[in-house]
Structure 1
Amino acid sequence: MTRTGGTEEQKTDVKVSLIGGHRLKGETLHERTLTASLIGGADVDLTDIDIPDGAELRITKLSLIGGVSIRVRPEVRVEVHGIRLGGVKDDGPSGPGGPTVRVDAWGLLGGVSVTRG
């Protein structure tokens, strides 16, 4: 994750495909990432980056069919927002504080699955 200072403009990564998902690794992402596809999910691995306490990393997923599979460290809090048919599977911390990953998932079919490790 590339962290910018308070006065600098935040960068947004954009990944687009018609058919097929995206595999994203943490060290190549900025504070905001948008991944869009007609059919296909997003597989995001954030286990090898250190998200500072109080920082928020935001991932937005747009698709008709396709969910989000995200891997984070055990102490990272994941907030899931958006509208989609499919649930959210996450058994991690839900209290305030600490590093946060916000997932905005918009689509018809596909859930959000969070794996910790």
Structure 2
Amino acid sequence: MTKTSGEQRPSRTDIKVSLIGGHRLDGATLHERTLTASLIGGADIDLTDVDIPDGAELRITKLSLIGGVSLRVGPDVRVEVRGIRLGGVRDEGPGAPGGPTVRIDAWGLIGGVNVRR
């Protein structure tokens, strides 16, 4: 997900759907917007090798009945978590202000969001 400065292109939304089983996503499989949906299963997302430009926002939406989100990001990335789910949000620390932002919209019955830096 590397963008060159000044390049304007329409944002792309990737959609991953499964009934049972989660999704494993990394920088090679993500674009500016990603929707992952499953009846039972979480999302394991590794963004440690992704070059997100400062000020850019990467949006990931997770829909599931049962299943949380495990997110790995670099130390300079700011993470915003929204949505409704039973289970909390665990974040090891804030990212740098003004840096890139990853926004997680997690909607589900059971499952939390775990952010590791």
TM bucket (normalised to shorter chain) is over 0.9
Which consecutive segments of 4 or more residues in structure 1 shift more than 4 A?
none
5 Å-filtered alignment, 1:1-117, equals: 1-3=1-3, 5-6=7-8, 8-93=9-94, 96-116=97-117
Q: CA deviation at 1:3?
A: 3.5
Kept in 1, the 8 Å contact 2:78–2:94? The answer is yes
Paired-residue identity, %:
79
Normalised to the residue count of structure 2, the TM-score between the two structures is 0.92
Gaps of 5+ in 2: none
Give the CA RMSD over aligned residues: 1.4
Kept in 2, the 8 Å contact 1:2–1:31? The answer is no
AA at the equivalent of 1:35: T
Normalised to the residue count of structure 1, the TM-score between the two structures is 0.92
Q: Distance in 2 between matches of 1:94 and 1:48?
A: 16
Is the alpha carbon distance of 1:74 and 1:65 closer, same or farther for their aligned partners in structure 2, counting shifts above 3 Å? same
Number of equivalences: 115
Gaps of 5+ in 1: none
